[in-house]
């Protein structure tokens, strides 16, 4: 065991490997140790990423209408969540949405489509979108998130100019059957490996707050470490009404910060993204979390509203960090700061609507 979190950070900087006992100690730390834990994790973050924050932007190419039964998802089969539902965006619509995020400072655009996985025709459709996007914005990274890949599809995406592929493990293998029965944990691992083998940068992460135990959370983080993913998005459960996990509020801001610190200590040099649900769960600790995570999504998520893009960019600057790409201001919206669980705001703008996106 270590004597202090700073000792643990020094060990990690020297090439050490986080043990299960170390991970348990991080998750079990009390509130009086939170600043020490954050400061120690920050030494790892700054050693590998300096004072930069990578800004990512989501484009929801196809919303809802999913045949999968993932309990956390507002787009799942049988979901009663009142979300936007639409089939594939036209290429020009997708390009317009992506441009909004790029103008706001995003250096990576994530093209996401609901469903178990793409058909070959779907892959061709996305490939055409990517080709147009790269013509207009050659400096921008493109990440695709289309579900479980079949043989040869990752290679097609790579040839089309896709840089990365996202497919989250979400939780531990032992917990997986409790959150999804229409595919298996091994399908997700296989897809991440397909992406790696094709030369795509692997992006895979978690959803926390679904009732997982500390041991299951550690299992999931260590599985991601074993996969050697280049980026790890950590999502905090948004318990949508009309899904099996509605009214599941198990996270505190402090514990969210501990979870981010756990991932940083386990994977010191990996891009760590605070993703969906950060606004309602980290709340006023978001700026502090930037000292642990080095990446975030700007603006809205797939089916829910995020923090206003201007507020995100101001938060980054106020915390002493710089964005990896030029950022332009956007009108801001008032934040909910009453300390209570934030009501989920369903996204009703941006992709699939006639309203401008939040970017």
**Any idea which residues carry the catalytic annotation?**
66, 70, 73, 110, 143, 203, 273
Measured distance CA(215)–CA(210) in Å, rounded = 13
| DSSP codes joined into one string, 14-49 | TT----HHHHHHHHH--GGGHHHHHHHHHHHHHHHH
Measured distance CA(256)–CA(266) in Å, rounded = 16
* Helices and strands (H and E) in the chain: how many: 12, 10
The dihedral sign for the CA sequence 190, 194, 197, 200 = negative
Task: Residue 261: name the closest of 283, 234, 229, 300 by CA.
Answer: 234
Task: Residue 24: name the closest of 46, 8, 44 by CA.
Answer: 8
Task: Residue 115: name the closest of 145, 87, 147, 156 by CA.
Answer: 147
């Amino acid at each position: 065991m270590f004597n202090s979190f700073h000792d643990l950070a020094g060990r990690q900087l020297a090439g050490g490997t986080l043990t299960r006992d170390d991970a348990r100690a991080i998750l079990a730390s009390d509130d009086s140790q939170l600043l020490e834990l954050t400061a120690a994790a920050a030494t790892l973050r700054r050693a590998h990423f300096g004072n930069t924050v990578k800004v990512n932007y989501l484009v929801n190419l196809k919303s809802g209408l999913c045949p999968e039964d993932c309990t956390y998802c507002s787009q799942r089969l049988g979901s009663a969540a009142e979300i936007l539902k639409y089939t594939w965006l036209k290429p020009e619509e997708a390009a317009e949405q992506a441009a909004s995020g790029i103008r706001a400072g995003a250096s990576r655009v994530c093209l996401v489509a609901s469903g178990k996985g793409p058909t070959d025709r779907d892959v061709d459709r996305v490939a055409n979108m990517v080709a147009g996007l790269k013509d207009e914005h050659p400096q921008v990274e493109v990440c695709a998130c289309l579900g479980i890949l079949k043989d040869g599809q990752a290679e097609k995406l790579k040839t089309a100019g896709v840089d990365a592929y996202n497919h989250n493990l979400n939780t531990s293998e032992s917990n997986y059957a409790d959150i999804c029965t229409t595919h298996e944990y091994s399908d997700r691992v296989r897809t991440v490996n397909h992406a790696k083998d094709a030369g795509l940068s692997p992006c895979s992460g978690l959803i926390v707050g679904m009732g997982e135990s500390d041991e299951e959370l550690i299992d999931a983080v260590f599985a991601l470490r074993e996969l050697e993913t280049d980026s790890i998005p950590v999502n905090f459960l948004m318990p949508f009404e009309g899904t099996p996990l509605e009214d599941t509020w198990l996270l505190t801001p402090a514990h969210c910060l501990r979870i981010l610190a756990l991932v940083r200590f386990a994977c010191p040099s990996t891009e760590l993204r605070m993703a969906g649900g950060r606004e309602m769960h980290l709340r006023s600790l978001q700026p502090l979390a930037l000292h642990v995570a080095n990446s975030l999504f700007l603006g809205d998520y797939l089916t829910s509203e995020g923090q206003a893009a201007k507020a995100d960019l101001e938060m980054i600057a106020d915390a002493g960090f710089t964005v990896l790409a030029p950022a332009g201001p956007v009108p801001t919206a008032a934040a909910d700061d009453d300390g209570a669980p934030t009501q989920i705001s369903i996204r009703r703008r941006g992709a699939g609507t006639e309203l401008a996106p939040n970017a």
